Structure 1
């Protein structure tokens, strides 16, 4: 029995390794066929807006050259208090950053049990009082400002705002992922409602998929469209599949539902969740070897209960901190293992007034920068030494930095905050200036001959900047090096 179990685990591990390797190769092959000859990059705002009953969805045209180069699509959702983003799934892996607000999200993994359930006693009491019978569902996760949430391709999820302020969430779809075997168009498959297309043809001439084009023609013709998955199924099939009557089956098809993809919850959203105090006590008891022992069934439980979020907005979690300049926090597959599956990572940064993120390049990833607050001057340089961007990046704008292009940021307001989504689960950065930079690693004589400067000037070039990644304008400059 032990030998059989060990063989199964080894086989599964090899399969996962092969899948991850294939995923990485798939991205590389896709990008080799994609021309990233960018002479000009722009900081751009969303060009499409869809209004729903309890929120808005804004998208950037995925056909824009810089997004085609990076192989991504960008969405910004604003969910009003007590708003519910209807259940859906996508053909692409997604990485979500919570810019503002808090709430709950349900992420439904296929084949996993409903581990959150009401007790039989409470269920019987509800039934006797005329309410519904006991409920069972998969785990519901909380989120707050600063959280990064990973959603694998094809996994359905929903989101509810239970706070007093709007939830603002920015999502990157990795359309170039090997996990997406359709095409490079981002697609959301809704299980409920009658949502409008989030990625419509923009003024820049984006190309629609056949399904998107058909739905647009129906709207222009004045006919009532139906855009969730049940719309294409015969109501008798739905009724038979769920063992319900056809009138209820037709409701699943979104009859006369014009609320959009973000709807307002009537009353309060109720679901099963453990009280925080009881949950913490049980975890402590289990850790001390007490009576409570969590159920364990190996890899299945690990998959079904995997951690999908990490907070990178909390200042106490900063990986790089300079009191006068700012901080940087990263999340990758080392501290959030699910990112190895979806092959994405992120960086959250804060710069103070006139502080600089020293010049650097991304070794193994494209970087998609979303400006959260404030503004900064950014410069990006390509392999020919040409400036492809030299301008301001302001709140709400997106800027793409292709792999290996040099980039530098300087805060032009009291405070500049950003989040960068990167197309590698373990994105790496190489600095051009600073204590751990490529220039610092080169012998002074090599620098002197490369730029035809004196040995003293070469030493100043190497040693005058002691910071690693962030530098303040108030830091000492032009120090003589003996």
Structure 2
């Protein structure tokens, strides 16, 4: 059960802040441009990447892709796949760069702590027994907890997380949660180098760390502080401080919760009602960070023979405007083709959810940067301005793509929306030294298809 408490002082604060809400968002999460940093972006050959390093925890595992590989370095991204077992809790942490998380499997709850927002959600006491155990402690009445908003997530959700914002998640379902995260380390919000870093507020990471890989070290943020200073700052005993540092904690960053967590989390219906309110508290402190892109009702392009694609950009999820990221979920039926196209204003990081696909990526008119198959669990970067074509193999092909622009755009080379459709016949005939009849076939042969092309062989 959850309730929202508002005091006169809080209402006044929200009213005053509403005058500068866009300024606040601009200060906290400005519409970030991407920076090249030290990357020379040398693209010679691309290849599908498996996760390179595996770190096990008590209740799950984290698998990291090599961010130093040329394609990830060029795109300015890093990636990790987390598997969280039932009743597994990923400890609170934050990153130096904005990120998008795609929930491949499972469901659960997560918390995002936004600086300056009040803890207006109240966890109520559960049952008569707990109510009877309320007591006076140090002159204060103990009755429940207060915390920031808890959000539910499920398979197909994209979760948007700004840089530097603390985040945790818990698997309250009956099967493992699999979550793939892409970090935009080239985003201007990252004031450090282009090495991905996560800083944990609790626990201790297992395994050694390698240069350039995602981490800020083996301990948590309390680890380096002096015991006496922390004891005084937090108002707790030194033995509690040592527990905060996690010096003897070998559980890793995903821990097992022995008893079910009792946390006030609103239903999805309540979340939607709260997000429809346009007040400051909803715009800033309860901003919408989660959107499902696997829902059939949200398909942007659908073909009964070809498949479907759903896109998520800053028009659908406004927080993406400040993160400068977007996403795409695609599904190809057997032997269907996604029309050859290039990304106008973004790199695209492709993660295969299911099946296998034949992918070709053209490199600056000279040669193919990639020509091969990609399969479940692999990643492949499609650089900005490089033409790509995808075809499902014997199985259906399903993917999610993370894009480095909040309103990523593509330009197809075939189908009804092809760039060739916008060029006069005479221009094309002279450009390619072919007849007008052949040009008409090129422009209009797929006139009944848009982005998805049926798997058919052209006559020789």
In the superposition, the TM-score normalised over structure 2's length comes to: 0.88
Give CA-to-partner distance per residue, 1:151-182, whole Å, 9 cap, x none: 00000010101111110000001100100001
Answer yes or no: is 1:468 the counterpart of 2:460. Answer: no
Cross-structure match for 2:227? 235
Answer yes or no: is 1:157 the counterpart of 2:157. Answer: no
Instruction: Mark the CA change 1:412 to 1:366 in structure 2 (over 3 Å): closer, same or farther.
Output: same
Query: How large is the RMSD of aligned CA atoms in angstroms?
Result: 2.9
1:262 equivalent among 242, 247, 254: 254
Give CA-to-partner distance per residue, 1:341-367, whole Å, 9 cap, x none: 111000000001000011000000000
Cross-structure match for 1:218? none
Whether the 8 Å contact between 1:349 and 1:419 is mirrored in structure 2 is yes
The equivalences for 1:147-296 within 5 A come to 147-196=157-206, 200-201=209-210, 207=212, 227-274=219-266, 279=270, 283=273
Answer yes or no: is 1:61 the counterpart of 2:53. Answer: no
Cross-structure match for 2:154? 144
Instruction: Mark the CA change 1:307 to 1:415 in structure 2 (over 3 Å): closer, same or farther.
Output: same
Cross-structure match for 1:445? 426
Cross-structure match for 1:436? 417
1:69 is paired with a residue whose SS is: helix
Instruction: Mark the CA change 1:252 to 1:420 in structure 2 (over 3 Å): closer, same or farther.
Output: same
Cross-structure match for 1:129? 133
1:229 is paired with a residue whose SS is: coil
Consecutive unaligned residues in structure 1, runs of 5 or more:
216-225, 288-293
Whether the 8 Å contact between 1:465 and 1:477 is mirrored in structure 2 is no
1:360 equivalent among 292, 316, 341: 341
2:223 is paired with a residue whose SS is: helix
Answer yes or no: is 1:116 the counterpart of 2:121. Answer: yes
Whether the 8 Å contact between 2:75 and 2:347 is mirrored in structure 1 is yes
Cross-structure match for 1:86? 91
Cross-structure match for 2:366? 385
2:284 equivalent among 298, 303, 306: 303
2:229 is paired with a residue whose SS is: helix
Instruction: Mark the CA change 1:424 to 1:36 in structure 2 (over 3 Å): closer, same or farther.
Output: same
Answer yes or no: is 1:99 the counterpart of 2:109. Answer: no
- Deviation for aligned residue 1:275: 5.9
Answer yes or no: is 1:395 the counterpart of 2:365. Answer: no
Answer yes or no: is 1:49 the counterpart of 2:22. Answer: no
Q: Structure 2: how far apart are the matches of 1:80 and 1:177?
A: 31
Instruction: Mark the CA change 1:305 to 1:228 in structure 2 (over 3 Å): closer, same or farther.
Output: same
More helix by share: 1
Q: Structure 1: how far apart are the matches of 2:92 and 2:26?
A: 31
Q: Structure 2: how far apart are the matches of 1:8 and 1:99?
A: 37
Q: Structure 1: how far apart are the matches of 2:123 and 2:227?
A: 31
- Deviation for aligned residue 1:233: 1.1
Give CA-to-partner distance per residue, 1:130-170, whole Å, 9 cap, x none: 68631111111000000000000000010101111110000
Q: Give the length in aligned residue pairs.
A: 440
Give CA-to-partner distance per residue, 1:193-252, whole Å, 9 cap, x none: 111369x43xxxx6469x96xx6xxxxxxxxxx601111112222222221111111111
2:76 equivalent among 71, 94, 103: 71
Q: Structure 1: how far apart are the matches of 2:412 and 2:126?
A: 59
Give CA-to-partner distance per residue, 1:10-44, whole Å, 9 cap, x none: 766467669877722xx1x426x632231100101
2:222 is paired with a residue whose SS is: helix
